[in-house]
Amino acid sequence: MVRDITLGQFLPGDSLMHRLDPRAKLGLTLSVIVFIFVAGNFLGLAVMTGLVFLGMAVSGVSIGRYLKSLKVVLLVVLFTSLLNLFYGGGEVLWEWGFLRITWGGVSNSIFVAVRIIVLIFASSVLTFTTSPTQLTDALERLMKPLSLIRVPVHEIAMMMTIALRFIPTLLEETDKIMNAQKARGADMESGGILKRVKALVPVLVPLFVSSFRRAYELATAMECRCYRGGKGRTKMKILHMKARDYISCGVAAAAGAGVILLRIFITHPYL
Amino acid sequence: MEYLQTQELTYSYHKEPPLTLALDGVTLGIGKGEFVALLGHNGCGKSTLAKQFNALILPSGGTVFVDSMDTKDQSLTFEIRRQVGLVQQNPDNQLVASVVEEDVAFGPENIGVPPGEIREQVDAALKAVGMYEYRTHAPHKLSGGQKQRVAIAGILAMQPACIVLDEPTAMLDPRGRREVLETVWKLNREKGITVVLITHYMEEAAQADRVVVMDRGKVLLDGTPRQVFSQVDLLKEHALDVPQATELMALLRREGCEVPNDVLTAEECTKVLEGLLGGTQTG
Amino acid sequence: MKILEVKGVSYQYSPKTPFCKTALEDVSFSIEQGEWIGVIGHTGSGKSTLIQHLNGLLRPTSGTVLLHGKDIWENPKKIRSIRFQVGMVFQYPEYQLFEETVEKDIAFGPRNQKLSDSEIHDRVQAAAKFVGLSQEMLKKSPFELSGGEKRRAAIAGVIAMDPEVLILDEPTAGLDPMGRDLILSQLMEYHRERKNTVLVVSHSMEDIAATADRVLVLDQGNVVMFGEPAEVFSRGPELADMGLQVPQITQIMAKLRDKGYPVPAGVLTLQQAVQALLPLMKRQEGGKADG
């Protein structure tokens, strides 16, 4: 049933991770992602992995959930690490025709795999513990300075809020329209790609029409509720950075500094 | 002048001739604290009138006053909309945020209420419609009746003096309809909020203080439910329903029975019939 | 002759997951050729789930649905042909219109049936006639029609498939009394002329009481009553427990009956009530004159 769809993968909870300021969380995740790429060797990567594992541990979400989030990218991980296996130099381990596996390749392949997995874990920590609404809110506030250079920050955030609100409604509606057209004998399950795309017309047209109707009614409702853009608006929920937010940023900064230092001073090929 | 007052109000959706008038000379006053039901079949102008009450559309001719404020004065639009909230038919299309309490906060946030006060107003509004326990839920998981109550809370949080509801129960099942109506009644009785309820359901209209029937942009009937529904033939002529109890009395009267013409509820009807049937009981 | 049989049908949404929800539980009933069945039950009672089983949009978790004595899922690849035999009009069907003209939209079903152009034309004309759409309207874009006209165009789109069984989910929801009466009378005319089977899901007990040959009552995924309207609506208190109401006139007559007045049980329409009351009143007046 489409009704059960929840957007993103937010898992309500009350862990330390859940309670962190969404701005701090968003900033942390972005910098962790950057530093995972900055980490040029295994030691640096290990530092970041440790940091991400720490985040996972304090998120109160079971490890099973995290492993499940890997399922979607499993193929990407396998493919890229397989590709990397055949690159790199060093001692040759196995050779067949033009294919050659070296120590360098093995190390590369493991490095890339770990990097992707940790990246997924890091973003999962964010999406598991932050509701889409909080994320929008954090984005709006972090982007606020951009409004000085005429970026319509409030409008972008409003659009995201409305999108989040209406995606489940539209999914549900798609389901209904599909059933209705199937009841009129529409065949959406067989035939080649072209036929299937064509079969979508009876679904997409009503969906567009109804989206416009919804948009019109929503605009009226917003007007009724005194909406006139971002000017003069206040917010019910105000975000405050607390000690825990500053401490977590500090930990992340330390880890980042570590990664940079390791990258500069450790040059051993397999570390 | 009444709280809501229209004078010789005309309105056309077209700017150029031929002008078909959606509203054609409506003069109507609605007092503070009244519960008025607005009836009429589709296209009679009742939704157009509703939109005049909070300056969503402005008169082509005549005037509309809300608390003595002329809706044509654009500097007052904001205050008029704060005072007169409009709830529409489709509950899905009026909720903005994906968390109930954040949606209810939308109005007060637009007005610029300080954060602490918004919290209080939101909580009070949600409690008034009985949706406080659902404040952290996602709207798309609520039933139709619950969504409509959240929409009402969203208006209520702006602390309005009047709520106009445009067929709020048309898309709901009987349970949702009851929930919404009970909520609206409570707001009228306990908070003294003026209610204008547009509906096709005669049972809903029968409970109002006053019923206004519109037809082709004009006011056809205006009076207490008893006065209005006693005009069974006129209402039927304009393709409107009357409660079955009222219609039964009309049919019996046509057969020559002496029955009152202002019966509205099943209880009243039963009582009248008992009086007529007297001692024909068998057991 | 039985046209539809539902035998021990159960249905679960998202089975084998924590979200598993039983929507139908061991439901069995059968419908005779040419009947008009009213289906009632409050939201969540399983009505929508049930009707979607009848045209194979949903497949039962267990149990079978038989059309003319044959399991509709005998050959899952042919399930589409079942949907032409059991036509379904969903709630707010006007939101499914998509073609450039009303005519083309009504023709969508027949075209999927792979009928010849002349047959499609005849079907569209006949269907448009039933719902009172003029030639002029057929040439219009469906989005130019009024709400009630759109609704009727959508219903015509299903009628045009010439189904043996026509299922309608709240065909009058959200319409004003005029639109509602128009659609109901057109459907009744269609039923009288085609003599095929009709199932109508509705929250309006007055409509059900005035139209149905039999009423099917669903509660919590079970069929709890299935009988003639007079019989079903005479069980007012039980229906009230399920969150369902009986027509106001039925309530009034039931109260009189409770108080010992000799009025029949299960009065459904105003005409029936007047017919029952007049002789009693005459007798009372006569009694008064004598005494």
As a three-state string, the secondary structure of chain B is CCCEEEEEEEEECCCCCCCCEEEEEEEEEECCCCEEEEECCCCCCHHHHHHHHCCCCCCCEEEEEECCEECCCHHHHHHHHHHEEEECCCHHHHCCCCCHHHHHHHHHHHHCCCHHHHHHHHHHHHHHCCCHHHCCCCHHHCCHHHHHHHHHHHHHCCCCCEEEEECCCCCCCHHHHHHHHHHHHHHHHHHCCEEEEECCCHHHHHCCCEEEEEECCEEEEEECHHHHHCCHHHHHHCCCCCCHHHHHHHHHHHCCCCCCCCCCCHHHHHHHHHHHHCCCCCC
**Domain contains B265:** yes
Q: For residues C276 and C265, give the distance between their C-alpha atoms in angstroms, rounded to a whole number.
A: 10
Q: Which of residues 53-72 of C touch B (CB under 8 A)?
A: none
Taking an 8 Å cut-off on Cβ atoms, the answer to whether A185 and C109 are in contact is yes
Residue C251 near chain B (CB below 8 Å): yes
Verify whether the Cβ–Cβ distance B115 to A228 is below 8 Å.
Answer: no
The dihedral built from the CA positions of residue C158, C160, C165 and C166, taken in this order, carries a sign that is positive
Nearest CA in chain A to C160: A184
Among A133, A140, A167, A236, the residue to mutate for chain B (most B Cβ within 10 A): A236
Count the domains in chain B: 1
With CA atoms as reference, the chain C residue closest to B248 would be C270
Q: What is the DSSP letter of A229?
A: S
Of C261, C273, C277, the CB nearest to B281: C261
Write out the two tokens for C229.
């309207």
Range of the domain at C258: 247-291
Inform me whether the pLDDT recorded for C88 exceeds 90: yes
Q: Which of A176, A184, A201 sits opposite C112 (nearest CB)?
A: A184
Partners of C287 on chain B (C-beta within 8 Å) are 278-279
User: What pLDDT, on a 0 to 100 scale, did the predictor assign at position B282?
Assistant: 61
Cβ-defined contact of C287 to B175 (cutoff 8 Å): no
| Contacting residues of A for B137, CB less than 8 Å apart | none
Q: Is C8 on the interface with B (CB under 8 A)?
A: no
Considering the domain architecture, whether residues C267 and C214 belong to the same structural domain is answered as: no
Report the C-alpha gap between B181 and B243 in whole angstroms: 17
Nearest-Cα residue of chain C relative to residue B282: C260
Do strands B210-215 and B61-66 pair parallel, antiparallel, or not at all (unpaired)? unpaired
Mean pLDDT of the region C242-264: 91
Distance between CA atoms of residues C6 and C3, nearest Å: 10
Is C156 within 8 Å of C93 (Cβ atoms)? no
Test mutation, B248, B254, B272, chain C, max C CBs within 10 A = B248
Q: Which of C83, C97, C143 sits opposite A183 (nearest CB)?
A: C83
At position C227, the amino acid (one-letter code) is: G
Nearest CA in chain B to C251: B266
Closest C-alpha to B266, from C265, C249, C257: C249
**Burial state string for B117-141 with b = 16 or more CB within 10 A and e = fewer than 16:** ebbebbbebbebbebbebbebbbbe
Q: Which of B58, B89, B99, B104 to probe the A interface (max A CBs under 10 A)?
A: B99
> Cα(A155)–Cα(A158) distance, rounded to whole angstroms?
5
Chain C residues within an 8 Å CB radius of B280: 261-262, 280, 283-284
Q: What is the reported pLDDT for A136?
A: 87
> What angle (nearest 5°) sits at the alpha carbon of residue A259, between those of residues A257 and A263?
120
* Chain B: closest CA distance from residue C249 (Å): 6
* Domain-located, residue B249: yes
Shortest distance between the Cα of A152 and any Cα of chain B, in A, equals 17
Distance CA A173, CA B113 (A): 35
Own/partner long-range contacts of A4-7 (Cβ < 8 Å, ≥24 apart): A4/C14, A4/C19, A5/A168, A5/A171, A6/A168, A6/B138, A7/A132, A7/A164, A7/A167, A7/A168, A7/B98
CB–CB contact B200 C176 (8 Å): yes
Q: Looking at residue A271, what is its pLDDT?
A: 66
Is the CB of residue C146 less than 8 Å away from at least one CB of chain B?
Answer: yes
Range from A263-267, C165-169, C192-196 carrying the lowest mean pLDDT: A263-267
Buried b (16+ CB within 10 A) or exposed e, A237-262: eeeeeeeebeebbeebeebbebbeeb
- First-to-last alpha carbon distance for chain C, in angstroms, is 56
Single-letter residue type at C125:
Q
Q: Which residues contact B27 (CB under 8 A, 6 or more apart)?
A: B6, B7, B8, B9, B62, B219
Of the candidates B279, B268, B278, B281, the residue with the CA atom closest to the CA atom of residue C263: B281
CB pairs under 8 A between A and C: 61
Claim: this prediction has a pTM higher than 0.95? no
DSSP C103-154: HHHHHHHHHHTT--HHHHHHHHHHHHHHTT--HHHHHS-GGGS-HHHHHHHH
Please indicate if any CB of chain C lies within 8 Å of the CB of A211: no
pLDDT digits (tens, 9 = 90+) for C127-151: 999 999 999 999 999 999 999 999 9
Write out chain A's pLDDT in tens, 271 residues.
344 444 457 888 889 999 999 999 999 999 999 999 888 888 889 999 999 999 999 998 889 888 888 887 888 889 988 888 887 777 777 788 777 888 888 888 999 999 999 999 999 999 899 888 888 889 888 888 888 888 899 999 999 899 989 988 999 999 999 999 999 999 887 778 888 888 899 999 999 999 999 999 999 999 999 999 888 889 898 888 889 999 999 999 999 898 888 888 877 766 6
What pLDDT is attached to residue C287? 63
C-alpha–C-alpha distance, residues B86 and C115, integer Å: 49
Residue among A137, A222, A226 with most chain B CBs within 10 A, to mutate: A226
Instruction: Tell me the mean pLDDT in the region C187-207.
Output: 94
How far apart, in whole angstroms, are the C-alpha atoms of residue C237 and residue C258? 12
Residue B180 falls inside a structural domain? no
Contact C274 B252 (CB under 8 A): yes
- The 8-class DSSP code of residue C263 comes to P
How large is the average pLDDT for residues C35-50? 93
Domain-embedded: residue B127: no
Selecting from A177, A181, A183 the residue whose C-beta is nearest the C-beta of C55 gives A183
Domain of C145: which CATH number? Answer: 3.40.50.300
Write the DSSP string, C48-96. HHHHHHHTTSS--SEEEEEETTEETTSSGGGHHHHHHHEEEE-SSGGGG
3-state helix, strand, coil in chain A (%, to 5): 70, 5, 25
Q: What is the pLDDT averaged over residues C15-26? A: 83
B contact chains, 3+ CB pairs < 8 A: A, C
- Please state, in angstroms and as integers, the Cα–Cα distance from residue B72 to each residue in B5, B51, B58, B67, C28, following that order: 13, 13, 6, 13, 63
Q: Is B252 on the interface with C (CB under 8 A)?
A: yes
Task: Please give the interface size between A and B, counted as residue pairs whose CB atoms are below 8 Å apart.
Answer: 105
Put simply, the answer to whether B174 touches C274 (Cβ < 8 Å) is no
Q: Which of residues 189-208 of C touch B (CB under 8 A)?
A: 203, 206
Q: Which residue of C has its CA nearest to B265?
A: C248
Assess contact for B30 and B36: CB atoms under 8 A. Answer: yes
Which tokens hold the place of C252? 């009034």
Burial B206-222 (b: 16+ CB within 10 A, else e): bebebbbbbbbbebbbe
Interchain proximity C178–B41, CB inside 8 Å: yes
> Residue A135: what pLDDT?
87
Q: Tokens 């250079």 appear where? A: A149
- Determine whether A9 is exposed, middle or buried from the number of CB atoms within 10 Å of its CB (0-12, 13-18, 19+): middle
Name the residue among B81, B105, B151 with its Cβ closest to that of A226.
B81
B56 neighbors B69 (Cβ within 8 angstroms)? no
Q: What's the domain count of chain C?
A: 2
8 Å CB contact of C80 and A187 = yes
Q: Where are the domains of chain A?
A: 10-130+240-265, 144-224
Judge: A185–C90 Cβ closer than 8 Å, yes or no.
no
The range of the structural domain enclosing residue B258 comes to 243-277
| Statement to judge: residues C232 and C165 lie in one domain | yes
Burial class of C117 by CB neighbour count within 10 A (0 to 12, 13 to 18, 19+): exposed
List beta partners, residue B4: B30, B66
Q: Which of A173, A202, A210 sits opposite C108 (nearest CB)?
A: A202
* Residue A184 touches chain C, beta carbons under 8 Å: yes
Pull the structure tokens for residue A172: 């549900």
The C-alpha of B167 sits at a distance from chain A's nearest C-alpha, in angstroms, of 14
Residue C56 Cα, gap to closest chain B Cα (Å): 26
C242 and C256 share one domain? no
| Beta-carbon separation of B283 and C260 below 8 A | yes
Q: Which DSSP string corresponds to A120-131?
A: HHHHHHHHHHS-
Provide, as residue numbers in chain C, all residues whose Cβ is less than 8 Å from the Cβ of A180: 88, 90, 93, 96
Contact with chain C for residue A210, Cβ under 8 A: yes
Please state whether the peptide bond connecting residue B115 to the residue before it is cis, i.e. omega within 30 degrees of 0.
Answer: no
Give the residue among C204, C228, C203, C230 at the shortest CA–CA distance from C216. Answer: C228
Ranges under pLDDT 50 in chain B: 283
Alpha carbon C4 to its chain's center: 14
Contact call for residues B183 and B67 (beta carbons, < 8 A): no
Same domain, C235 and C290: no
**Does residue A189 sit at the C interface (CB-CB below 8 Å)?**
no
Return the partners of chain C (3 or more C-beta pairs < 8 Å): A, B
Q: What are phi and psi of A12, to 5 degrees?
A: -55, 145
Residues of C in contact with B89 (CB under 8 A): 174
Write out pLDDT tens, residues B72-125: 999 999 999 999 999 999 999 999 998 999 999 999 999 999 999 999 999 999
